[in-house]
Amino acid sequence: MKKCTILLLSLVLLMTTSLFAGSLDSLSNLSERFMMTTSRNAATDAADIAAYNPAGIVFMPKGLHVDLSVQTLLKYYEQKANMGPSGKSFEQDLPTWALPNLYVVYNFGDVGPGILGLYFTGGVPAGGGNLDWDGTAGVNAQLAQMGTPYSSVVASQSFKASSIYYGIGLGGAYSFLDEKMSVSLGGRLVIARRGFEMSGAFTGGGLNGMSANVEFDYNALGFTPILGIDVRPIDKLTLAARYEYTTALKFKYDEKDISGTGAITAGTLRSILTGVGLEDGKKFNQNLPHTIGLGAEYQFTDAFALSLSGTAYLLNVTNLGKYKDGTNDKDINDLFGIGWEAALGGTYKLNDSFKFGAGVMYTESGAKDSYFNKQGTLLNASGNPPLDSIAIGLGAAYSFNFGLDVNLGMLYSQYLSKDYGFSVLSGTYKKRIIGIGLGLGYHY
């Protein structure tokens, strides 16, 4: 059983850390309209700006504005793990079928010396769905330490993970200086729901025919204060900024299933899990980061507008959890700098009904090379690699004369492959995502 215990401990370590993508779970695609241009931080044309430029809602027409959208994400991940002369490839292609978002803005018009607006947001600010791996490089790393060939120990394995953060927000904005500037104050309640399930069947070394299954959920509740400012220094130019304070999240493990066959009993598994800190009812912190969004938009003509957006995620000063460095616990955020995004987008109105958009965005994840090449974080990285990426967005909108518009967008994200390696293990991570979005807007 000693060998069995070491093997199960290796797999447990994978389960307890693979989902720890932490604040790197933050999403940019908070509406279908984002897919059209990839740049919304200074927009003032639809209700979804409550997520990107909340101070800008007072520059929308007076009245009610609603934006409802749903996105489908086709996720193709793969990785290679080379151990000496042998190699192994792993994949996951489980899509996120529905990622919904709802935004409501009401502009009251003149209230006192300025304009007052209120907003509601509902959607998914982080996470994004499920992953279903047929294995990861993290397992190979643990087996390499044992000096045991993979094929002689594990006959099959399955690793499923889920991560979705629901957000419900409220806020308001008010304009000053003759409608040249506005400020906003709001907040978002974050309901984080995460979980994993791992199953393994073993062969050889006295483990032949034995199997194990472990399933846990871990959830948390947090609150995000959000500030915004919008300035119009000259006609047709909008400058905007948004600051989201860190979201403190204390997760709690909830055991769903621990079972095994043969000598791998539930009691043995539970003892191993407790030894690595995974036990029913245990609490731990893992936060979403301080976020700064900046944007500029210029309306060159009545038909053509161009925008720039930049977003920074202060991962290096956010509590992202812990990792093992030998026998010591260290902060994961020490392995990160500032993650950032830069986007350029434009829209063109063909006529009163048709509008087209396109944009491009580059994302720097903020992960340092050491994050990928440390033995203590390889398990994290292999579960959901935080890779840099280039995204291209396209979309079109059709407006009806009774205040309704229909929008269709598409976003292609190509992640830049990343090599990793240490000791006897090396390999490559690859990812790409295709997003399709459908939205409805209403103005009254």
Percentage of the chain modeled with pLDDT above 70: 89
Average pLDDT of the segment spanning 234-245: 97
- How does residue 149 score in pLDDT terms, banded at 50, 70 and 90? very low
Average pLDDT of the segment spanning 39-68: 98
Spatial neighbors of 298 by CB under 8 A, at least 6 apart, are 236, 237, 238, 305, 306, 307
- How does residue 144 score in pLDDT terms, banded at 50, 70 and 90? very low
Greater pLDDT, 423 or 69: 69
SS3 content of the chain, % helix, strand, coil (to 5): 20, 55, 25
Spatial neighbors of 286 by CB under 8 A, at least 6 apart, are 20, 22, 23, 220, 249, 251, 319, 320, 321
Of 95-109, 201-215, 248-262, 355-369, the least confident: 201-215
Provide the pLDDT for residue 84. 62
Percentage of the chain modeled with pLDDT above 90: 67
Average pLDDT of the segment spanning 77-87: 80
Residue-wise pLDDT for 157-183, tens only, equals: 777 889 999 999 999 999 998 889 999
Name the residue with tokens 């598994």: 269
Question: What is the 3-state secondary structure of 406-435?
Answer: EEEEEEEEEECCEEEEECCEEEEEEEEEEE
Q: Are 311 and 125 in contact (CB under 8 A)?
A: no
Task: Output the CA angle 261-204-262, nearest 5 degrees.
Answer: 15
Residue-wise pLDDT for 308-348, tens only, equals: 999 999 999 999 888 877 778 889 999 999 999 999 999 99
* CA 324 – CA 336 distance, rounded (Å): 16
Using the 8-state DSSP alphabet, how is residue 61 labeled?
Answer: P
User: pTM of the predicted model, to two decimals?
Assistant: 0.92
Instruction: Please determine, for residue 132, whether its predicted confidence score (pLDDT) is greater than 60.
Output: yes
Give 354's strand partners: 398
Provide the pLDDT for residue 295. 98
Provide the pLDDT for residue 315. 95
Q: Are 150 and 181 in contact (CB under 8 A)?
A: no
Provide the pLDDT for residue 325. 79
List the one residue out of 20, 121, 11, 114 whose CA is nearest residue 66: 121
List the one residue out of 312, 320, 325 whose CA is nearest residue 288: 320
Spatial neighbors of 207 by CB under 8 A, at least 6 apart, are 3, 4, 7, 153, 262, 264
Residue-wise pLDDT for 287-297, tens only, equals: 999 999 999 99
Instruction: Please determine, for residue 248, whether its predicted confidence score (pLDDT) is greater than 70.
Output: yes
Provide the CA 4 distance to its chain's centre, in angstroms: 35
* CA 342 – CA 373 distance, rounded (Å): 27
Average pLDDT of the segment spanning 216-222: 96
Instruction: Please determine, for residue 32, whether its predicted confidence score (pLDDT) is greater than 70.
Output: yes
Provide the pLDDT for residue 375. 78
Provide the pLDDT for residue 135. 77
Provide the pLDDT for residue 139. 60
Provide the pLDDT for residue 142. 53
Instruction: Please determine, for residue 21, whether its predicted confidence score (pLDDT) is greater than 80.
Output: no
Question: What is the 3-state secondary structure of 283-342?
Answer: EEECCECCEEEEEEEEECCCCEEEEEEEEEECHHHCCCCEEEECCEEEEHHHHECCEEEE
Average pLDDT, the chain: 88
Provide the pLDDT for residue 368. 94
Provide the pLDDT for residue 262. 81
Greater pLDDT, 418 or 158: 418
Average pLDDT of the segment spanning 377-398: 91
Domain spans, the chain: 2-443
Does domain 2-443 fall into CATH 3.40.630.30? no
